[in-house]
Amino acid sequence: MKRIKNILFDFDGVIVDSVNIKTEAFRRLYQEFSDEIANKVVEHHIANGGMSRFDKFRLYHKEFLEIKIGEPEVKHLSERFSRLVKQGVIEAPEIKGSHTFLNDYCDVYNMFIITGTPTDESKEICKARNIYSCFKGIYGSPESKDYWTKYLINKYNLIIEETIFVGDALVDYNAAIGNGMNFWLRVTEENELLFRNINNIQRFSDYIEFTELIL
């Protein structure tokens, strides 16, 4: 494999230990309908990390509530969700060693964030966590991760063999493999089962291990 020059990072669960914050926010939003609905939402959310919250709201209302919602309702739900989670993500602990890696190697690698969180919200969070300047770009919903992966490849003429996508969810894996690049999995208890039969990917648990693998 050629030397890695470009790194596309997911955010929640990959740089910051914030997945549970969003899980509980989804639970709170849908508990007003019933615990049964909330449990279905949480189960889907955990299995589909990285999927845009906009797409999740449309899906959950249609599939679990049999309600088709329009853009005003989706926007309102997203605003409620943001109020529940943003400060929590700002204050969430880092994945061990992530901030040190980002600050030590931002001049060595071209680093980007591709996340399911809205772009502006992601930028605000990164600024508050003092890691905004580590990235050449931060890209989020409503566009998909596959969309942004293609966009970055074209905008920066990224050489696929020199680029990796670092994530913790199947949507991250699909964006990477669908664009021909290598995928690195940040392993968690939640995703181990999902990826148990997927081979030919690099796995790590924290950025002490990540640094050893990439150098």
Cα gap 191→20, rounded to integer Å? 13
Per residue in 97-153, pLDDT tens?
999 999 999 999 999 999 999 999 999 999 999 999 999 999 999 899 999 999 999
- Spatial neighbors of 125 by CB under 8 A, at least 6 apart, are 11, 86, 89, 90, 117
Cα gap 81→83, rounded to integer Å? 5
Give the count of beta carbons closer than 10 Å to the beta carbon of residue 102: 23
pLDDT at residue 121 in the model? 94
Confidence of residue 46 (pLDDT cuts 50, 70, 90): confident
Element (H or E) spanning 126, and its range? Answer: helix 119-128
What tokens were used for 159?
A: 């050489």
First to last CA, the chain: 13
Cα gap 35→41, rounded to integer Å? 10
| Average pLDDT of span 14-27 | 93
pLDDT at residue 38 in the model? 96
Give the count of beta carbons closer than 10 Å to the beta carbon of residue 200: 7
pLDDT at residue 47 in the model? 83
pLDDT above 80 (res 2): no
pLDDT at residue 19 in the model? 86
Output the pTM of the full model: 0.88
- Averaged confidence pLDDT in the chain: 95
| Of the candidate ranges 45-59, 69-83, 100-114, 165-179, the one whose mean pLDDT is the lowest | 45-59
pLDDT above 90 (res 206): yes
Query: Looking at residue 213, what DSSP letter applies?
Result: H
pLDDT at residue 104 in the model? 97
Q: Are 26 and 40 in contact (CB under 8 A)?
A: no
The residue ranking higher by pLDDT, 189 or 149, is 149
Place of tokens 């003429």: 157
| Average pLDDT of span 7-35 | 95
pLDDT above 90 (res 202): yes
pLDDT above 80 (res 1): no
Sign of the torsion formed by the C-alpha atoms of 20, 83, 114 and 65: positive
Tell me the CA distances in angstroms from 48 to 105, 155, 164, 182, 210, one per residue in order. Answer: 30, 28, 20, 20, 23
pLDDT above 60 (res 39): yes
Cα gap 61→74, rounded to integer Å? 10
pLDDT at residue 130 in the model? 97
Nearest to 110 by CA among 132, 137, 131: 137
